Chain A
Amino acid sequence: MTAIETAIDPRYQSRSLVCDGNEAAAWGVALARPDVIAVYPITPQSSLVEYVSQFVAEGIIDAELMNVEGEHSVLSALQGAALAGARTYTATCGPGLAFMFEPYIRTPGLRLPLVANLVTRDTLTPQCVWGGHQDAMLVKEAGWIQMYCETVQEVLDTTVMAYRIGEHPQVMLPVNVNSDGNYLSYGVTGIEVPPPVLVDAFLGERNINWHAALDPERPMAVDPLTGGAGGPGPGLFVGYRQGQCDAMQKALDIIEETHRDWGDRIGRHYAPLVEEYRLEDADYALVTIGSMTGAAKDAVDAARDRGEAVGLIKVKTFRPFPVKAMARALSKVRAIGVVDRSVAFGWNAGPLYQETLAALHSTERFLPAASFIGGLAGADITVDDFSGVIQDTARLLQGHRFDGPRWINRND
């Protein structure tokens, strides 16, 4: 059977593929059966929307594909499509995301459940087209749900799950599925594409625009001007903001429930919010995010073999930040080394470090912590690098404190 037949034939069973993360994401899109796709390719996302375009051309995806003139138009077009009841898709990264910024920040307030893969990339400048988390971290306060994938298979699976999470009536928020540029986007491995019939049942009946609908027969105003401090007052605006924050908190439960159901139906289980790895008897732990985690786990295993009581905490869901799950994990250790693939310029540390320390506050307990920044501009964080992180984190237990972040890859 050809790819087209197997993709659209609901009888076909799960299929093994060897592909990169961008193609895996495109298969996730195909399984979610979007109605409208708008694209503007930019490295390292380019091949993702090329795969999606190819799937549309071949009939694997039955959607309207809009190849528009820039990312601002991409998201504006998809907002209109979603308001008309369409399930939508796009992907972007780096400067493309920057150019998308205005409609990007408008989407969560419109409560439109768009799904967009961010093939994360470091930001300018100096010039760089390589992977990093800086682009996604720049927009972490825009109100989108953001999940970071560890593996190519997880990119496919999470892309499908994103639709069910975002479209849940208690959530109604846009979702970014983040995959590391280069390492996941171009990383090739064997994956399973689940049967469409199972994914169709998992996603259920589509109901995108129950809350607002562009319909010529029933004209309505969307995104009206709200009151300021004078006149009608800001209460309506505050109410909308509060609604977004409430939906973000509810999303934590929905993300867990969705991952559980995906595991039950498809057979692949992921920690939906925070993964605890070898944490039960650990004295200290690394905190990681994204595709760096595989090498970090290998380094943790090697350190365990040397008798080091080290574990690992991986963050999958970064927005909303899973404070309770993180606090639970942090309560099991006495020191942490947090590894970021981006920087928080105002804090001379990494953003994951910032967030982890904020979650720590809810435990009413102090933990010595160190910020490690690596993998910028596509740099490789090796198992040896993580062994160094483990050694440095162990020093925290002996009372050592670091002044500022540890810069991995500075001499690479």
Chain B
Amino acid sequence: MHEIRIHGRGGQGAVIASKILAKALVEEGKFVTAIPAFGFERRGAPVAAFMRFDEAPIRRINNIYTPNTVISIDPSVIRAVDIFEGMQPGGTWVHTTRDSAEQLDVPEHIDTLGLCDAVGIAMEVFGRPITNTIMLGAFAKTTGAVSLDALKRGLASANFRDAGLKQNLLAVERGYAETRVHHLAQPDREAC
């Protein structure tokens, strides 16, 4: 069973992103459950969404405490909450940032790092910093757990209230294309 925790801020669409990713993973034949962290949905407040996927049916409906993968769709949420809390060894971190891998303080138990300037892309695509679908593209590129095509089909079945489907399809494509993936070899942890 693979456990993902998505961290963001209220208004960025972390929960919608988890729904779209759930649809895409089901498209790939996986069993998926996702729940949002229950808190007040204030714009700007740190929020989280939880997701499990597996080859077999999943019975537990719980929050996630020991994620294999952490996706941070906001560049500054790392300063607001400990997004790595409980993280499994050999984990994956998909992060929105302009920084390089060397500039980041990457915890030791992260083996795979996916970096994407999702805010920059979002400003070009949407004109505002809505990073959720871009970071789904970044997740797909970093992990290979879901294909870009499945993500696009997941997007097509989501109801977007304001930003259109076309923009989001572009967003997920650019997130996929513009993510730098680093395999942090232990112990020297050199970026490749």
Contacts and interface: CB of A to CB of B under 8 A. Distances in A.
A291 B60 CA distance: 8
A385 to B, nearest CB: 9
Interface in A292-322: 293-295, 297-298
Contacts of A383: 60, 62
B112 interface: no
A383 B18 CA distance: 22
A188 B59 contact: no
A186 interface: yes
Given A18-B19, A189-B22, A297 B59 contact: yes
Contacts of B59: 293-295, 297-298
A162 interface: no
Nearest to A293: B59
Interface string B57-95: 011111101000000000000000000000000000000
B148 to A, nearest CB: 18
A381 B62 CA distance: 7
Interface residues of B, number: 22
* Chain A interface size range: 20 to 34
Contacts of B31: 189-190
A151 B23 CA distance: 17
A9 B151 CA distance: 28
Interface stretch (B34-42, B115-123, B163-171, B182-190): B34-42
Contacts, number: 64
Contacts of A184: 61
A291 B63 CA distance: 13
B32 interface: yes
Contacts of B60: 294-295, 298, 383
Interface in A11-52: 16, 18, 20
A188 B22 contact: yes
Interface in B5-44: 15, 18-19, 22-23, 26, 31-36, 38
Contact of A378 (B22, B26, B38): B38
B38 A18 contact: no
B19 A188 contact: yes
B23 A18 contact: yes
Interface string A167-205: 000000000000000111011111000000000000000
A188 B61 contact: no
Contacts of B22: 18, 188-190
Contacts of A298: 59-60
Contacts of A297: 59
A298 B61 CA distance: 11
A382 interface: yes
A183 B19 contact: no
Contacts of B154: 18
Contacts of B63: 380, 382
Interface in B93-150: none
A189 B62 contact: no
A189 B34 contact: yes
Interface string A347-374: 0000000000000000000000000000
A186 B61 contact: no
A293 B34 CA distance: 17
Given A18-B23, A182-B35, A378-B38, A187 B18 contact: no
B26 A18 contact: yes
Given A187-B61, A294-B60, A295-B62, A182 B33 contact: no
Contacts of A188: 18-19, 22, 32-35
A187 B26 contact: no
Contacts of A131: 38
A130 interface: yes
Contacts of A151: 61
Contacts of A18: 19, 22-23, 26, 32, 154, 157
29 contacts: A18-B154, A182-B35, A183-B35, A183-B61, A186-B15, A187-B33, A187-B34, A187-B35, A187-B61, A188-B18, A188-B22, A188-B32, A188-B33, A188-B34, A188-B35, A190-B31, A293-B59, A294-B59, A294-B61, A295-B59, A295-B60, A295-B62, A297-B59, A298-B60, A380-B63, A382-B62, A382-B63, A383-B60, A383-B62
Q: Which 7 A-B pairs have the closest CB atoms?
A: A294-B59, A295-B60, A188-B34, A18-B23, A190-B26, A187-B35, A189-B33
Given A18-B23, A18-B154, A294-B61, 15 more contacts: A16-B26, A18-B22, A18-B157, A131-B38, A186-B36, A186-B38, A187-B34, A188-B18, A188-B34, A188-B35, A189-B22, A190-B31, A297-B59, A298-B60, A382-B65
Interface of A: 16, 18, 20, 130-131, 151, 182-184, 186-190, 291, 293-295, 297-298, 378, 380-383
